[in-house]
C-alpha cells in the first residue's frame, strides 16, 4: 500500500480543507460519545433509588470525583424532579444529534471536494508526465494503456481517497468515541473485547492483498479492452470494408472475459472477508457474555454498567464493521496507485539542465555520424552505421523498401528517438548536448497521417504556437495552399473541424498540417511520406508550396512517389537500415540496383493506375 499512501500524502497539499474535514468528523463523533455517556444518568434516574434526581446525581458525582466537578452554578439549576431530569438529558441528546448530523453532512461534502481537487491535480501531473515521456516509452506501453492510466486509474484513486477521508474517518472517529465511552463506563469489559483486535487485523491484511492483486489484474485487462475498442471504432471504415466485424467482436469478447475473470478474483476475496469478520464478532460477544456472567455473580460488576459498556462496544463494533469494506476499497485503489507510480517512475525527456545548451538556428549543415538505432526487444538494428552530410537549403529525399529505416533515421533528428550509438550534429553541435526545446523549435514535421484535433481551423494551425497573430495564420494557410478551401468552410479560420479531421479530405488535412509546420518558420522541414495519401491535384499544390519555401530551409523527405524523388536535389537510398547510395536521379538510375527496382515499381504502379 506504499503507492496509495504516496499519493494520499497529496491530501496535505490542501491543509485548510483537510483540517475542516477532520474537524467536522470529530464533532459528529463527539456527539455520539456524549450521547452514550448520557445513558448512565438516565438509567440511574430510572433504576436508581426513589426520589433520586439529576441534581442529586450531580452532587454525588462531585463528592466522588474531586478532579472533575459540575460547576455550582450549573448544579443549582439542574431539575430536582427525576422525570424532568430525564427530559432535560433527552433534549440535550436531541440537540447533539442535530449538531452531529450537520457536522456529518459538512464532513462528507468537504471530503468530496478535497478528494476531487487532489485527484484532479494528480491526473494533470500524470498526463503532463505522459506528454514528456520519450516516444519509445509511449510506444512500449501503448497509447491506450497510457490513456487508461491517466483516466481510469486516477478515477480509482477518488474512491480510495473518499473512503480514507470520508467514510473511514467518520466511522473511525465514531468508533473511538464509542470505545472511549465504554472505557469510562467499565474498562474491564473493553479489555476482554480488545483481545480480538489483532485477529481482525490479520484477516483484513490477508484479504486486502488478494483484492489488490485482483484489482490490478482487472485494471490491466480494462486497458486491453480500451485498446481493442479504440482500434475497432477508430478504424471502423477499414473493419467494415474488410468484413471484419466478427473478428473484432471476437477480440472484444476475449478482452471482456479477461476483465470479468480478474474482477471476480477480487470480488471472491472481498466477499470472504465479511463472513470471517462476522464469525469473529460473534465469538467475541460470547466471550464477553461469559466474562459478564461471572463478574455479575461475584458482585464485582453491576448489571446496568455491563449493559451500558456492552452497548457502547456494540456501537464501536458497528462503526468498525464497515471498515472491512473500506479497507477493501483502499486496497482496490492501491492497485491503481501502483500502476500510476510505475508510470511516474519512467524517466522523462531531459528538459532543462545546466549542462545542456540552447542550439542556435541551423544555417550550415546536418551531419549523421555512424548513427545506429535498435528498438527495445528487437534483434536487428532498424538503422545501422549511417553517415551523411546535408548542406543547409538542400532538399534531400530518402527512399527505400518498407522497413528500411527511413522514418526511424529522421525521427532521431527532432530527438523523438535517441541513437543507440553515433551522433547527430546540427552546424557542428551534437543535438544530444542541446536542449530538446531548442532543437524542436526549428524543426517542422509533416507525417503521412496528419493529426488534427477537434476544434477550429485556427486552433489546429496554431497548435503548439500560442499567441500567434491572425495574419500569421492566414499567411501560413496561403503558403500551404490551404487558403482556398479554408475560406469555403463555414466560419473560415474559425470553422469547426470534426474529430481526427474526418470532415476534411486527405489533401486538405495534409495542407493544414503543412501550414502548422510553416507557422513555426522551421530551419529544417521533415516530410514523412506527406503526399502518399493524397490525389495528384493535391500533390501538385503541395509540391508547388514546398518548392516556394524550400530555398530558405533544409527539407528532408521520405519519398515513395517518383515525382517526389525527381524534385529533390539529392536522393539517399536505404536498405536494411543502411545507406546504400547517395546521388541524383540519373546517377542512381545508372548504378544503384535498389533504386532501379523502386523506380521500376513506381512506373508500373503509375501505368496500372492510368489503365
Asked if the model's pLDDT at residue 51 lies above 60, the reply is: no
Cα atoms found within 13 Å of the Cα of residue 266, Cβ hemisphere only:
24
Task: Supply the pLDDT for residue 484.
Answer: 80
Q: Which of the listed CATH numbers 1.10.150.130, 3.40.50.620, 3.40.50.970, 1.20.1560.10 matches domain 2-344?
A: 1.20.1560.10
Confidence of residue 374 (pLDDT cuts 50, 70, 90): very high
Per-residue buried b or exposed e for 476-497, using 16+ beta carbons within 10 Å of the residue's own CB:
bbebbbbbebbeebeeebeeeb
Task: Supply the pLDDT for residue 610.
Answer: 46
Assess contact for 6 and 342: CB atoms under 8 A: no
Q: Is this model's pTM higher than 0.75 or not?
A: no
Residues, the chain: 611
Per-residue buried b or exposed e for 546-567, using 16+ beta carbons within 10 Å of the residue's own CB:
beebbeebbbbbbbbbbebbeb
CA distance 196 to 278: 12
Q: Which of 83-92, 213-222, 397-406 has the highest mean pLDDT?
A: 397-406
**390: enclosing H helix or E strand:** strand 383-391
Task: Supply the pLDDT for residue 319.
Answer: 56
Confidence of residue 397 (pLDDT cuts 50, 70, 90): very high
Phi, psi of 571 (to 5 degrees): -125, 130
Confidence of residue 563 (pLDDT cuts 50, 70, 90): confident
pLDDT digits (tens, 9 = 90+) for 108-127: 888 888 888 898 899 889 88
What are the residues whose beta carbons fall under 8 Å from the beta carbon of 482, sequence distance 6 or more? 508, 511, 512, 514, 515
Asked if the model's pLDDT at residue 402 lies above 70, the reply is: yes
Q: What are the structural domain ranges in the chain? A: 2-344
Confidence of residue 238 (pLDDT cuts 50, 70, 90): low
Task: Supply the pLDDT for residue 207.
Answer: 62
3-state secondary structure of 455: strand
pLDDT digits (tens, 9 = 90+) for 181-212: 666 655 565 555 555 556 556 655 666 666 66
Amino acid at each position: 500500500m506504499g503507492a496509495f499512501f504516496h499519493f494520499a500524502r497529496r491530501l496535505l497539499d490542501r491543509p485548510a480543507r483537510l483540517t475542516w474535514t477532520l474537524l467536522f468528523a470529530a464533532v459528529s463523533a463527539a456527539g455520539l460519545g456524549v450521547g452514550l455517556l448520557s445513558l448512565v444518568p438516565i438509567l440511574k434516574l430510572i433504576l436508581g433509588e426513589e426520589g433520586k434526581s439529576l441534581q442529586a446525581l450531580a452532587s454525588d458525582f462531585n463528592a466522588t470525583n474531586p478532579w472533575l466537578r459540575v460547576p455550582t452554578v450549573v448544579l443549582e439549576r439542574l431539575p430536582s424532579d427525576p422525570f424532568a431530569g430525564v427530559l432535560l438529558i433527552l433534549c440535550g441528546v436531541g440537540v447533539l444529534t442535530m449538531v452531529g448530523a450537520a457536522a456529518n453532512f459538512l464532513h462528507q461534502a468537504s471530503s468530496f471536494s478535497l478528494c476531487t481537487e487532489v485527484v484532479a491535480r494528480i491526473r494533470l501531473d500524470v498526463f503532463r508526465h505522459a506528454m514528456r515521456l520519450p516516444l519509445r516509452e509511449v510506444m512500449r506501453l501503448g497509447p491506450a494503456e497510457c490513456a487508461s492510466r491517466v483516466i481510469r486509474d486516477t478515477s480509482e484513486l477518488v474512491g480510495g481517497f473518499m473512503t480514507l477521508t470520508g467514510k473511514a474517518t467518520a466511522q473511525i472517529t465514531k468508533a473511538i468515541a464509542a470505545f472511549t465511552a465504554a472505557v469510562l463506563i467499565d474498562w474491564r469489559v473493553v479489555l476482554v473485547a480488545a483481545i480480538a483486535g489483532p485477529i481482525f487485523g490479520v484477516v483484513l491484511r490477508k484479504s486486502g492483498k488478494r483484492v489488490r492483486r485482483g484489482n490490478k489484474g482487472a485494471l490491466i485487462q480494462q486497458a486491453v479492452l480500451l485498446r481493442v475498442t479504440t482500434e475497432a471504432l477508430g478504424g471502423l471504415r477499414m473493419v467494415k470494408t474488410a468484413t471484419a466485424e466478427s473478428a473484432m467482436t471476437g477480440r472484444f469478447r476475449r478482452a471482456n472475459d479477461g476483465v470479468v475473470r480478474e474482477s471476480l478474483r477480487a470480488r471472491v476475496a472481498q466477499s470472504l472477508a465479511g463472513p470471517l469478520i462476522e464469525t469473529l464478532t460473534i465469538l467475541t460477544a460470547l466471550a464477553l457474555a461469559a466474562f459478564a456472567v461471572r463478574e455479575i455473580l461475584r458482585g464485582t460488576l453491576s448489571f446496568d454498567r455491563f449493559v451500558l459498556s456492552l452497548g457502547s462496544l456494540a456501537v464501536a463494533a458497528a462503526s468498525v464493521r464497515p471498515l472491512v469494506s473500506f479497507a477493501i476499497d483502499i486496497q482496490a485503489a492501491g492497485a491503481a496507485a501502483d500502476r500510476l507510480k510505475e508510470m511516474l517512475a519512467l524517466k522523462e525527456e531531459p528538459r532543462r539542465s545546466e549542462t545542456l545548451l540552447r542550439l542556435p538556428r541551423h544555417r550550415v549543415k546536418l551531419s549523421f555520424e555512424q548513427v545506429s538505432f535498435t528498438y527495445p526487444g528487437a534483434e536487428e538494428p532498424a538503422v545501422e552505421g549511417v553517415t551523411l552530410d546535408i548542406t543547409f537549403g538542400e532538399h534531400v529525399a530518402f527512399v527505400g523498401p518498407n522497413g528500411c529505416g527511413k522514418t526511424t533515421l529522421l525521427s532521431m533528428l527532432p530527438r523523438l528517438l535517441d541513437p543507440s550509438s553515433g551522433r547527430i550534429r546540427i552546424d557542428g553541435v551534437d543535438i544530444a548536448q542541446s536542449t530538446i526545446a531548442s532543437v524542436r523549435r526549428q524543426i517542422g514535421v509533416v507525417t503521412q497521417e496528419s493529426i488534427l484535433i477537434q476544434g477550429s481551423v485556427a486552433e489546429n494551425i496554431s497548435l503548439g504556437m500560442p499567441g500567434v497573430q491572425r495574419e500569421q495564420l492566414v499567411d501560413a494557410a496561403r503558403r500551404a495552399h490551404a487558403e482556398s478551401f479554408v475560406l469555403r468552410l463555414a466560419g473560415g479560420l474559425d470553422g469547426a473541424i470534426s474529430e481526427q479531421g474526418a470532415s476534411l479530405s486527405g489533401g486538405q488535412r495534409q495542407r493544414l498540417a503543412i501550414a502548422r509546420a510553416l507557422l513555426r518558420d522551421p530551419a529544417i522541414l521533415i516530410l514523412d511520406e506527406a503526399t502518399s495519401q493524397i490525389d495528384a491535384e493535391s500533390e501538385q499544390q503541395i509540391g508547388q508550396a514546398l518548392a516556394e519555401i524550400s530555398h530558405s530551409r533544409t527539407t528532408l523527405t521520405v519519398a515513395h512517389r517518383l515525382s517526389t524523388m525527381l524534385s529533390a536535389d539529392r536522393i539517399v537510398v536505404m536498405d536494411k537500415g543502411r545507406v546504400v547510395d547517395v546521388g541524383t536521379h540519373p546517377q542512381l538510375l545508372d548504378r544503384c540496383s535498389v533504386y532501379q527496382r523502386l523506380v521500376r515499381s513506381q512506373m508500373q504502379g503509375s501505368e496500372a493506375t492510368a489503365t
